[in-house]
Copies of this chain bind each other. A is one copy, B any other.
Amino acid sequence: MTSATFDFAPLLPAGLPAPAAKWTGLAKYSFIGGNNDADQVPVEGLIDAVNAVLKREGKTLATYGLASGPQGYRPLREFISAKLKRDAGINCTADDILIVSGSLQALDLVNQSLLTRGDTVIIEQETYQGSLNRLTRLGVNVVGIPLDQDGMRMDALASVLADLKRRSVTPKYIYTIPTVQNPTGTILPEVRRAELLRLSQEYGVPVFEDDCYADLIWDGKRPPAIHAMSKTGGVIHIGSFSKSIAPALRVGYIVAPWQMLSRMLALKTDAGSGALEQMVLAEYCAPHFASHVPKLTRGLRAKLDTLMEALNEQFGTAAEFCDPKGGIFLWVKLPDNVDTLKLYQAALAAGVAINPGPEWSTDKAYAGSRLRLCFASPSHEQIREGVAVLADVCRREFGVPARSANVEKRA
């Protein structure tokens, strides 16, 4: 036997994603990822909660699924049911909820239970990169619907549905992030939600509603969830605690009719999601969620203000954006000659991490000069400094923002 290194390469199947690179730490100025504000993690409250719940029920950790079965820790499902009723108008019980390991597992379970290679789905033209990547890897045809300042355009959706029907294609779902859309930050008004449901019903295509940012609205006011407005149960609704409490806790949920929940449960072969994280969330959230969230969003709004000020100061009119009503990201348009995929590389070399637009859109040309900037994690100072560095890189690489225009405007 030789001691040459075993080579796995001949055994790898076709179609694997590229291997991951070794992790080298976060960028100095990181405007990417759904990370939150470290100062806003309710550490003391979580400590109190974990002490209480472990003292009372710690022994139940000896059993997969605790005493609650495979749908997840029952007190957490009961909290979610009450919260969804209060905030989103959804009428559901703990039995209609499946706790998952972050809403990313929800995406996987919905996709696995509905999609097969060659299927078609409808999504928002600008959308969450993780959703888009999943669909690409599954070999699914995605049709992107353009958005305006009120979210998905219903006229465009109607025309796509009609066109697909003419070609005898029934899409498997209409995926939307209606409440603080990722990355555009828009909120779909109630009247469009009603129209979306009408079209869903007319064409027999369910709605897949991803509400993971819905808690983070500055004035706390949101339209009812699409799930809440449906009279037929043709909506799968997912949510998460990553944005409202802490991203590193991997806890999300799915609300769906049992016909689909039973399918997803059969596909969830992980022996349950992490129980300690479910227990501490239930114990903390029941008394504190409603008061924690407004405090969190005030802090996020202040960081957004810093980001928008810094962009105005550094880019002048060269950076266009709408003031979003909530969330943790800003969708920014730079001049047409800026290629944000190239900017991404140059900025990273200068210590600034951004999300280039084409990775967040089905229309690579439209998104070519756009980018997403996440503002929850960096400090106010990092936001100001990072935007200044980004503007310098833009100037150097693309000649924008023009120094004179900018200086004149602000001087």
A residues touching B (Cβ–Cβ < 8 Å)? 1-14, 16-23, 25-26, 33-41, 43, 46-47, 50-51, 54-55, 58-66, 69-71, 95, 101-102, 104-105, 108, 113-116, 119, 130, 133-134, 170, 172-173, 197-198, 201-202, 204, 206, 230-234, 242, 246-251, 257-260, 262-263, 265-267, 269-277, 280, 377
Contacts and interface: CB of A to CB of B under 8 A. Distances in A.
Nearest to A50: B50
Nearest to A7: B259
A269 B58 contact: no
Contact of A61 (B51, B172, B249): B249
Nearest to A107: B269
A35 B13 contact: no
B35 A64 contact: yes
Contacts of A234: 6, 8
A266 B17 contact: yes
Nearest to A280: B276
Given A3-B231, A54-B46, A20 B70 contact: yes
Contacts of A20: 70, 262-263, 265-266
Given A20-B265, A22-B258, A104-B270, 12 more contacts: A5-B232, A14-B116, A23-B70, A34-B271, A41-B58, A47-B50, A61-B248, A63-B247, A102-B271, A104-B271, A248-B272, A276-B277
Contacts of A102: 270-271
Contacts of A9: 259
A134 B269 contact: yes
Contacts of A277: 274, 276-277
B232 A105 contact: no
A5 B231 CA distance: 8
A310 to B, nearest CB: 21
Nearest to A245: B61
B16 A266 contact: yes
Contacts of A119: 13
Query: Which are the 4 A-B pairs with shortest beta-carbon distances?
Result: A6-B234, A23-B69, A43-B58, A248-B275
A260 B238 CA distance: 32
Given A71-B23, A104-B269, A34 B115 contact: no
A101 B101 contact: yes
Nearest to A248: B275
Contacts of A276: 50, 248-249, 274, 276-277, 280
Contact of A233 (B5, B54, B134): B5
19 contacts: A6-B233, A10-B170, A12-B263, A16-B266, A20-B266, A34-B271, A36-B62, A40-B62, A41-B58, A43-B55, A47-B51, A50-B50, A50-B54, A62-B247, A64-B247, A66-B248, A102-B270, A248-B276, A276-B276
B19 A43 contact: no
A95 B21 CA distance: 12
Contacts of A201: 1-2, 6
A130 B271 CA distance: 10
A7 B3 CA distance: 59
A287 to B, nearest CB: 18
Contacts of A273: 101, 250, 274
A377 B66 CA distance: 12
Contacts of A257: 5-6, 8
